[in-house]
Amino acid sequence: MDEDRAPQTVWKPAKRLRALKPVWQAAHDGRADAGALASLLDSGSGLVLRAAFDRVRAFDADTGEQRWAWEVPGRDVLSAVADEATGGVVLLAHWPDTSEGPEKAGVTALDTASGKGLWSARLNLSGLSHHDSGLRVGTVALSGECALVTTGEKVVAHDARTGRHMWSVPHEEDHGVRIAAGGGRLVVVTENSDTTTVLTVALADGAVLWKKPLPVDGPVGAVGLLGADPLLLAVEGEGRRGPHRLLRLDEDGGTAVEIPMTGGHGTIRTAPWGVNDGRRRFTAVGDTLLAFVEPSPEETLVRPAGFSLSTGRHLWTSDHWGIVALAPHRGHVVMVRHYDESFSSQAYVLDAATGREVARRSIRRTGSDEPYTLHVHGRRLLWVSTSSTAATAPVKAYDWR
Protein backbone atom coordinates (compact mmCIF):
# COMPACT_ATOMS: atom_id res chain seq x y z
CA MET A 1 0.00 0.00 0.00
CA ASP A 2 3.04 2.30 -0.13
CA GLU A 3 3.03 2.69 -3.91
CA ASP A 4 1.52 5.72 -5.63
CA ARG A 5 -0.78 3.28 -7.38
CA ALA A 6 -1.82 0.45 -5.08
CA PRO A 7 -2.47 -2.99 -6.62
CA GLN A 8 -6.14 -3.87 -7.00
CA THR A 9 -5.65 -6.89 -4.75
CA VAL A 10 -5.72 -4.65 -1.68
CA TRP A 11 -9.48 -4.21 -2.22
CA LYS A 12 -10.29 -7.92 -2.51
CA PRO A 13 -12.67 -9.64 -2.27
CA ALA A 14 -14.62 -7.78 -4.92
CA LYS A 15 -17.86 -8.16 -2.93
CA ARG A 16 -18.76 -9.05 0.64
CA LEU A 17 -22.14 -10.28 1.85
CA ARG A 18 -22.06 -8.64 5.28
CA ALA A 19 -22.25 -4.88 5.54
CA LEU A 20 -19.35 -2.96 7.04
CA LYS A 21 -20.11 -1.78 10.56
CA PRO A 22 -18.49 1.19 12.30
CA VAL A 23 -15.35 0.32 14.24
CA TRP A 24 -15.85 3.57 16.15
CA GLN A 25 -18.20 6.53 16.24
CA ALA A 26 -17.04 9.89 17.56
CA ALA A 27 -19.12 11.43 20.32
CA HIS A 28 -21.45 14.36 19.75
CA ASP A 29 -20.37 17.20 22.05
CA GLY A 30 -23.90 17.94 23.25
CA ARG A 31 -24.14 21.39 21.69
CA ALA A 32 -26.61 22.63 19.12
CA ASP A 33 -26.22 20.86 15.82
CA ALA A 34 -23.75 22.58 13.51
CA GLY A 35 -23.48 21.37 9.94
CA ALA A 36 -20.07 20.44 8.56
CA LEU A 37 -18.43 23.17 6.49
CA ALA A 38 -15.07 21.51 5.87
CA SER A 39 -13.09 18.41 6.76
CA LEU A 40 -9.37 17.64 6.48
CA LEU A 41 -7.32 14.50 7.04
CA ASP A 42 -3.82 14.98 8.44
CA SER A 43 -2.12 11.65 7.81
CA GLY A 44 1.01 12.71 9.69
CA SER A 45 -0.77 13.10 13.02
CA GLY A 46 -3.47 10.54 12.21
CA LEU A 47 -6.26 13.05 12.81
CA VAL A 48 -9.44 13.83 10.93
CA LEU A 49 -10.76 17.38 11.37
CA ARG A 50 -14.39 18.44 11.14
CA ALA A 51 -15.12 22.17 10.94
CA ALA A 52 -18.44 23.86 11.72
CA PHE A 53 -19.24 27.57 11.77
CA ASP A 54 -18.13 28.00 15.39
CA ARG A 55 -15.53 25.29 16.07
CA VAL A 56 -13.06 22.78 14.70
CA ARG A 57 -12.80 19.32 16.29
CA ALA A 58 -10.02 16.77 15.71
CA PHE A 59 -10.53 13.04 16.12
CA ASP A 60 -7.99 10.23 16.31
CA ALA A 61 -8.34 8.10 13.16
CA ASP A 62 -7.44 4.97 15.13
CA THR A 63 -9.85 5.35 18.07
CA GLY A 64 -12.32 8.15 17.34
CA GLU A 65 -11.26 9.94 20.54
CA GLN A 66 -11.46 13.71 20.37
CA ARG A 67 -7.90 14.98 20.61
CA TRP A 68 -8.64 18.69 20.62
CA ALA A 69 -11.26 21.33 19.85
CA TRP A 70 -10.66 24.90 18.73
CA GLU A 71 -13.35 27.51 19.30
CA VAL A 72 -13.69 30.28 16.73
CA PRO A 73 -12.83 33.37 18.82
CA GLY A 74 -15.38 35.85 20.14
CA ARG A 75 -18.48 36.11 17.99
CA ASP A 76 -16.61 35.30 14.79
CA VAL A 77 -17.77 32.59 12.40
CA LEU A 78 -15.62 30.45 10.18
CA SER A 79 -15.39 31.96 6.70
CA ALA A 80 -12.63 30.04 4.88
CA VAL A 81 -10.44 26.94 5.31
CA ALA A 82 -7.43 25.89 3.22
CA ASP A 83 -8.15 22.75 1.20
CA GLU A 84 -5.41 20.66 2.81
CA ALA A 85 -3.52 20.41 6.09
CA THR A 86 0.13 20.84 5.08
CA GLY A 87 3.24 20.44 7.21
CA GLY A 88 1.18 19.95 10.34
CA VAL A 89 -0.68 23.25 9.83
CA VAL A 90 -4.32 24.05 9.14
CA LEU A 91 -5.11 27.58 7.91
CA LEU A 92 -8.47 29.28 8.28
CA ALA A 93 -10.16 32.68 8.21
CA HIS A 94 -12.99 33.97 10.39
CA TRP A 95 -14.91 37.19 10.96
CA PRO A 96 -17.77 38.62 13.06
CA ASP A 97 -21.19 37.45 11.89
CA THR A 98 -22.37 40.94 10.91
CA SER A 99 -22.61 42.92 7.69
CA GLU A 100 -19.35 44.70 8.55
CA GLY A 101 -17.65 41.55 9.82
CA PRO A 102 -15.22 41.04 6.91
CA GLU A 103 -13.60 44.39 7.76
CA LYS A 104 -12.38 42.82 11.01
CA ALA A 105 -11.46 39.38 9.71
CA GLY A 106 -8.91 37.15 11.37
CA VAL A 107 -6.59 34.58 9.82
CA THR A 108 -5.36 31.83 12.13
CA ALA A 109 -2.91 28.97 11.70
CA LEU A 110 -3.36 25.96 13.98
CA ASP A 111 -0.95 23.18 14.80
CA THR A 112 -2.74 20.10 13.52
CA ALA A 113 -1.42 17.73 16.18
CA SER A 114 -2.35 19.88 19.20
CA GLY A 115 -4.94 22.37 17.95
CA LYS A 116 -2.96 25.24 19.47
CA GLY A 117 -2.77 28.52 17.62
CA LEU A 118 0.57 29.10 15.92
CA TRP A 119 -0.15 32.68 14.88
CA SER A 120 -3.05 34.95 14.01
CA ALA A 121 -3.43 38.17 12.06
CA ARG A 122 -6.24 40.65 11.51
CA LEU A 123 -7.00 41.61 7.91
CA ASN A 124 -9.63 43.65 6.15
CA LEU A 125 -11.35 41.19 3.82
CA SER A 126 -14.30 43.44 3.04
CA GLY A 127 -13.15 43.62 -0.60
CA LEU A 128 -14.18 39.99 -1.11
CA SER A 129 -17.69 38.95 -2.11
CA HIS A 130 -19.42 36.55 0.26
CA HIS A 131 -23.20 36.29 0.36
CA ASP A 132 -24.10 33.07 2.18
CA SER A 133 -23.47 31.17 5.42
CA GLY A 134 -20.97 28.73 3.89
CA LEU A 135 -17.25 29.10 3.40
CA ARG A 136 -15.76 31.41 0.82
CA VAL A 137 -13.49 29.28 -1.38
CA GLY A 138 -10.20 30.59 -2.74
CA THR A 139 -9.48 32.98 0.16
CA VAL A 140 -6.69 31.06 1.91
CA ALA A 141 -4.25 28.40 0.69
CA LEU A 142 -1.37 26.33 2.04
CA SER A 143 1.56 24.92 0.11
CA GLY A 144 4.96 23.93 1.41
CA GLU A 145 6.05 26.55 3.94
CA CYS A 146 3.68 29.23 2.61
CA ALA A 147 0.37 30.31 4.11
CA LEU A 148 -1.42 32.53 1.60
CA VAL A 149 -4.28 34.94 2.09
CA THR A 150 -5.98 37.08 -0.53
CA THR A 151 -7.69 40.40 -0.01
CA GLY A 152 -9.47 42.45 -2.65
CA GLU A 153 -6.14 44.06 -3.59
CA LYS A 154 -3.24 41.64 -2.98
CA VAL A 155 -2.13 38.20 -1.88
CA VAL A 156 -0.01 38.05 1.27
CA ALA A 157 2.35 35.15 1.99
CA HIS A 158 3.29 34.19 5.56
CA ASP A 159 5.54 31.49 6.93
CA ALA A 160 3.04 28.75 7.70
CA ARG A 161 4.35 27.98 11.21
CA THR A 162 5.63 31.36 12.43
CA GLY A 163 3.39 33.85 10.63
CA ARG A 164 6.44 35.81 9.46
CA HIS A 165 5.60 38.02 6.48
CA MET A 166 7.38 36.60 3.44
CA TRP A 167 6.13 38.63 0.50
CA SER A 168 3.01 40.11 -1.07
CA VAL A 169 1.89 40.57 -4.65
CA PRO A 170 -0.84 42.95 -5.89
CA HIS A 171 -3.55 41.83 -8.26
CA GLU A 172 -6.27 43.51 -10.26
CA GLU A 173 -9.11 44.71 -8.07
CA ASP A 174 -11.84 42.09 -8.01
CA HIS A 175 -14.44 41.16 -5.37
CA GLY A 176 -14.46 37.58 -6.62
CA VAL A 177 -10.70 36.93 -6.72
CA ARG A 178 -9.69 33.28 -6.12
CA ILE A 179 -6.34 31.71 -5.23
CA ALA A 180 -4.88 28.20 -5.20
CA ALA A 181 -1.35 26.95 -4.56
CA GLY A 182 0.64 23.87 -5.51
CA GLY A 183 3.60 22.72 -7.55
CA GLY A 184 5.74 25.58 -6.22
CA ARG A 185 3.42 28.33 -7.45
CA LEU A 186 0.48 30.50 -6.50
CA VAL A 187 -2.36 30.95 -9.00
CA VAL A 188 -4.57 34.05 -8.84
CA VAL A 189 -7.70 34.44 -10.97
CA THR A 190 -9.42 37.82 -11.28
CA GLU A 191 -12.40 38.97 -13.33
CA ASN A 192 -12.82 42.61 -14.28
CA SER A 193 -14.68 44.44 -17.06
CA ASP A 194 -15.52 41.26 -18.96
CA THR A 195 -11.86 40.19 -18.84
CA THR A 196 -10.48 37.31 -16.79
CA THR A 197 -6.79 37.39 -15.87
CA VAL A 198 -4.67 34.51 -14.62
CA LEU A 199 -1.54 35.35 -12.61
CA THR A 200 1.05 32.85 -11.40
CA VAL A 201 3.68 33.60 -8.76
CA ALA A 202 6.67 31.62 -7.48
CA LEU A 203 6.06 30.58 -3.87
CA ALA A 204 9.77 30.76 -3.05
CA ASP A 205 10.12 34.53 -3.46
CA GLY A 206 6.87 36.02 -4.77
CA ALA A 207 8.28 36.66 -8.24
CA VAL A 208 5.64 36.88 -10.98
CA LEU A 209 6.04 33.97 -13.40
CA TRP A 210 3.44 35.10 -15.92
CA LYS A 211 0.23 37.12 -16.16
CA LYS A 212 -2.14 36.55 -19.06
CA PRO A 213 -5.79 36.95 -20.04
CA LEU A 214 -7.88 33.80 -20.04
CA PRO A 215 -7.15 32.03 -23.37
CA VAL A 216 -10.73 31.79 -24.66
CA ASP A 217 -12.76 33.59 -27.28
CA GLY A 218 -16.20 34.91 -26.47
CA PRO A 219 -17.97 36.38 -23.44
CA VAL A 220 -17.31 34.71 -20.08
CA GLY A 221 -19.87 34.67 -17.28
CA ALA A 222 -17.81 33.01 -14.54
CA VAL A 223 -14.52 31.21 -14.03
CA GLY A 224 -13.87 28.62 -11.35
CA LEU A 225 -10.33 27.85 -10.18
CA LEU A 226 -10.23 24.08 -9.63
CA GLY A 227 -6.57 23.63 -8.77
CA ALA A 228 -3.02 24.90 -9.17
CA ASP A 229 -1.16 21.66 -9.93
CA PRO A 230 -2.36 20.93 -12.54
CA LEU A 231 -3.78 24.39 -13.27
CA LEU A 232 -7.44 23.70 -13.96
CA LEU A 233 -10.21 26.21 -14.71
CA ALA A 234 -13.94 25.81 -15.26
CA VAL A 235 -15.17 28.42 -17.73
CA GLU A 236 -18.86 29.21 -17.92
CA GLY A 237 -19.62 31.34 -20.94
CA GLU A 238 -22.19 34.09 -21.01
CA GLY A 239 -25.18 33.12 -23.12
CA ARG A 240 -25.70 30.03 -25.21
CA ARG A 241 -22.88 31.00 -27.61
CA GLY A 242 -20.33 31.64 -24.88
CA PRO A 243 -17.48 29.19 -24.15
CA HIS A 244 -18.43 26.44 -21.70
CA ARG A 245 -15.38 24.26 -21.03
CA LEU A 246 -12.74 22.97 -18.67
CA LEU A 247 -9.21 24.19 -19.33
CA ARG A 248 -5.83 22.89 -18.24
CA LEU A 249 -3.18 25.56 -18.72
CA ASP A 250 0.47 24.75 -19.37
CA GLU A 251 3.54 26.17 -17.63
CA ASP A 252 3.40 29.31 -19.79
CA GLY A 253 -0.32 30.01 -19.48
CA GLY A 254 -1.34 28.54 -22.81
CA THR A 255 -4.13 26.01 -23.28
CA ALA A 256 -2.77 22.49 -22.87
CA VAL A 257 -6.11 20.67 -22.76
CA GLU A 258 -9.67 21.77 -23.47
CA ILE A 259 -12.72 19.72 -22.45
CA PRO A 260 -16.15 20.94 -23.61
CA MET A 261 -18.80 21.04 -20.92
CA THR A 262 -21.26 19.46 -23.36
CA GLY A 263 -20.36 16.79 -25.89
CA GLY A 264 -20.50 13.06 -26.51
CA HIS A 265 -20.02 12.51 -22.77
CA GLY A 266 -23.17 14.51 -21.95
CA THR A 267 -23.01 17.66 -19.83
CA ILE A 268 -20.47 18.25 -17.08
CA ARG A 269 -22.13 19.63 -13.94
CA THR A 270 -19.98 22.09 -11.96
CA ALA A 271 -22.24 21.80 -8.90
CA PRO A 272 -23.73 18.28 -8.94
CA TRP A 273 -26.61 17.77 -6.55
CA GLY A 274 -25.73 15.89 -3.38
CA VAL A 275 -21.94 16.33 -3.47
CA ASN A 276 -21.52 18.54 -0.39
CA ASP A 277 -17.71 18.72 -0.39
CA GLY A 278 -16.94 21.21 -3.15
CA ARG A 279 -13.32 20.02 -3.40
CA ARG A 280 -14.52 16.65 -4.70
CA ARG A 281 -16.70 17.89 -7.55
CA PHE A 282 -13.56 17.78 -9.68
CA THR A 283 -10.73 15.48 -8.59
CA ALA A 284 -7.41 14.75 -10.30
CA VAL A 285 -6.16 11.17 -9.86
CA GLY A 286 -2.97 10.58 -11.82
CA ASP A 287 -3.72 11.49 -15.45
CA THR A 288 -7.48 11.27 -14.91
CA LEU A 289 -9.81 14.13 -14.03
CA LEU A 290 -12.96 12.93 -12.29
CA ALA A 291 -16.06 15.06 -12.92
CA PHE A 292 -19.83 14.55 -12.72
CA VAL A 293 -21.86 14.37 -15.91
CA GLU A 294 -25.49 14.26 -16.92
CA PRO A 295 -25.28 11.67 -19.73
CA SER A 296 -28.14 13.04 -21.89
CA PRO A 297 -31.38 15.07 -21.72
CA GLU A 298 -33.22 11.74 -21.44
CA GLU A 299 -30.82 10.29 -18.84
CA THR A 300 -30.52 13.01 -16.22
CA LEU A 301 -29.16 11.05 -13.24
CA VAL A 302 -25.72 12.56 -12.67
CA ARG A 303 -22.81 10.10 -12.68
CA PRO A 304 -19.02 10.26 -12.21
CA ALA A 305 -16.90 10.28 -15.36
CA GLY A 306 -13.20 10.29 -16.19
CA PHE A 307 -11.31 12.53 -18.64
CA SER A 308 -7.65 12.41 -19.65
CA LEU A 309 -5.67 15.35 -18.28
CA SER A 310 -3.09 14.97 -21.05
CA THR A 311 -5.47 14.81 -24.04
CA GLY A 312 -8.90 15.90 -22.75
CA ARG A 313 -10.44 12.70 -24.10
CA HIS A 314 -13.51 11.28 -22.37
CA LEU A 315 -12.37 7.95 -20.89
CA TRP A 316 -15.39 6.50 -19.15
CA THR A 317 -18.71 7.18 -17.43
CA SER A 318 -19.74 5.10 -14.43
CA ASP A 319 -23.11 3.36 -14.17
CA HIS A 320 -23.34 4.47 -10.54
CA TRP A 321 -25.62 7.39 -9.73
CA GLY A 322 -26.54 8.95 -6.38
CA ILE A 323 -22.86 9.46 -5.44
CA VAL A 324 -22.62 11.97 -2.58
CA ALA A 325 -19.04 11.55 -1.32
CA LEU A 326 -15.78 10.33 -2.78
CA ALA A 327 -12.06 10.22 -2.04
CA PRO A 328 -9.03 9.42 -4.23
CA HIS A 329 -6.64 6.75 -3.01
CA ARG A 330 -3.51 5.58 -4.84
CA GLY A 331 -4.85 5.40 -8.36
CA HIS A 332 -8.37 4.50 -7.29
CA VAL A 333 -11.40 6.42 -6.14
CA VAL A 334 -13.74 5.35 -3.33
CA MET A 335 -17.32 6.54 -3.76
CA VAL A 336 -20.36 6.41 -1.48
CA ARG A 337 -23.86 6.05 -2.90
CA HIS A 338 -26.43 7.17 -0.35
CA TYR A 339 -30.12 6.23 0.05
CA ASP A 340 -32.28 8.34 2.36
CA GLU A 341 -34.91 5.61 2.75
CA SER A 342 -32.46 2.85 3.65
CA PHE A 343 -30.24 2.03 6.61
CA SER A 344 -27.31 1.17 4.39
CA SER A 345 -25.20 2.92 1.79
CA GLN A 346 -22.97 1.45 -0.90
CA ALA A 347 -19.23 2.04 -1.21
CA TYR A 348 -17.59 1.42 -4.58
CA VAL A 349 -13.92 1.36 -5.54
CA LEU A 350 -13.22 2.33 -9.16
CA ASP A 351 -9.99 2.26 -11.11
CA ALA A 352 -9.60 5.96 -11.91
CA ALA A 353 -7.93 5.30 -15.27
CA THR A 354 -10.61 2.98 -16.64
CA GLY A 355 -13.70 3.48 -14.47
CA ARG A 356 -13.84 -0.27 -13.87
CA GLU A 357 -15.41 -1.32 -10.58
CA VAL A 358 -12.77 -3.09 -8.49
CA ALA A 359 -14.81 -3.73 -5.34
CA ARG A 360 -17.98 -2.79 -3.50
CA ARG A 361 -19.32 -2.98 0.05
CA SER A 362 -22.54 -2.17 1.89
CA ILE A 363 -22.09 0.27 4.78
CA ARG A 364 -24.29 0.11 7.88
CA ARG A 365 -25.58 3.48 9.03
CA THR A 366 -28.48 5.20 10.79
CA GLY A 367 -31.41 6.52 8.79
CA SER A 368 -30.60 10.19 9.52
CA ASP A 369 -26.91 9.90 8.67
CA GLU A 370 -25.62 11.61 5.51
CA PRO A 371 -21.96 11.97 4.53
CA TYR A 372 -20.43 15.41 4.06
CA THR A 373 -17.21 13.89 2.77
CA LEU A 374 -15.05 10.78 2.88
CA HIS A 375 -11.37 10.20 3.73
CA VAL A 376 -9.25 7.08 3.27
CA HIS A 377 -6.56 6.39 5.88
CA GLY A 378 -4.76 3.14 5.12
CA ARG A 379 -7.55 0.55 4.93
CA ARG A 380 -9.91 2.69 6.98
CA LEU A 381 -12.79 4.75 5.57
CA LEU A 382 -13.54 7.88 7.58
CA TRP A 383 -17.13 9.07 7.12
CA VAL A 384 -17.62 12.72 8.08
CA SER A 385 -21.31 13.45 8.65
CA THR A 386 -23.12 16.55 7.48
CA SER A 387 -24.68 16.91 10.95
CA SER A 388 -23.74 16.10 14.53
CA THR A 389 -26.55 15.22 16.94
CA ALA A 390 -27.28 12.78 19.75
CA ALA A 391 -28.41 10.31 17.07
CA THR A 392 -25.77 11.10 14.44
CA ALA A 393 -22.02 10.84 15.06
CA PRO A 394 -19.95 13.71 13.64
CA VAL A 395 -17.35 11.22 12.33
CA LYS A 396 -17.22 7.43 12.18
CA ALA A 397 -14.82 4.83 10.82
CA TYR A 398 -15.17 1.62 8.82
CA ASP A 399 -12.43 -0.89 8.14
CA TRP A 400 -12.35 -2.21 4.59
CA ARG A 401 -12.65 -6.01 4.83
**Whole-structure pTM value:** 0.94
In whole angstroms, give the CA distance from residue 304 to residue 355.
9
The SS3 call for residue 174 is coil
The pLDDT score that the predictor gives to residue 133 is 72
The pLDDT score that the predictor gives to residue 341 is 60
Q: Which residues contact 31 (CB under 8 A, 6 or more apart)?
A: none
In whole angstroms, give the CA distance from residue 323 to residue 310.
26
The pLDDT score that the predictor gives to residue 340 is 61
The pLDDT score that the predictor gives to residue 106 is 95
Contact 143, 101 (CB under 8 A): no
Radius of gyration of the chain (CA): 21
Residue-wise pLDDT tens for the chain (401 aa)?
334 777 877 888 888 888 999 999 999 988 877 899 999 999 999 999 999 999 999 999 999 999 999 999 999 999 999 999 999 999 999 999 888 889 999 999 999 999 999 999 998 888 888 777 789 999 999 999 999 999 989 999 999 999 999 999 999 888 889 999 999 999 999 988 778 999 999 999 999 999 999 998 888 888 999 999 999 999 998 877 788 999 999 999 999 999 999 999 999 999 888 899 999 999 999 999 999 999 998 888 999 999 999 999 999 999 999 999 999 998 999 999 987 666 678 999 999 999 999 999 999 887 678 899 999 999 999 999 999 988 899 999 999 99
Q: For residue 219, is the peptide bond before it cis, meaning its omega torsion is within 30 degrees of 0?
A: no
CA distances from 294 to 202, 306, 309 (A): 38, 13, 20
The pLDDT score that the predictor gives to residue 303 is 96
The pLDDT score that the predictor gives to residue 1 is 33
> What are the tens digits of pLDDT across the range 93-129?
999 988 888 999 999 999 999 999 999 999 888 888 8
In whole angstroms, give the CA distance from residue 185 to residue 198.
12
In whole angstroms, give the CA distance from residue 92 to residue 115.
12
The SS3 call for residue 279 is helix
**31-58 b/e with 16+ CB inside 10 Å = b?**
eeebebbbbbbbeebbbbbbbbbbebbb
Q: How many other CB atoms are there within 10 angstroms of residue 401's CB atom?
A: 10
Polymer length of the chain: 401
The sheet with strand 154-159 has its strands ordered as 140-143, 146-150, 154-159, 165-170
The sheet with strand 105-111 has its strands ordered as 76-81, 89-96, 105-111, 117-123
The pLDDT score that the predictor gives to residue 99 is 81
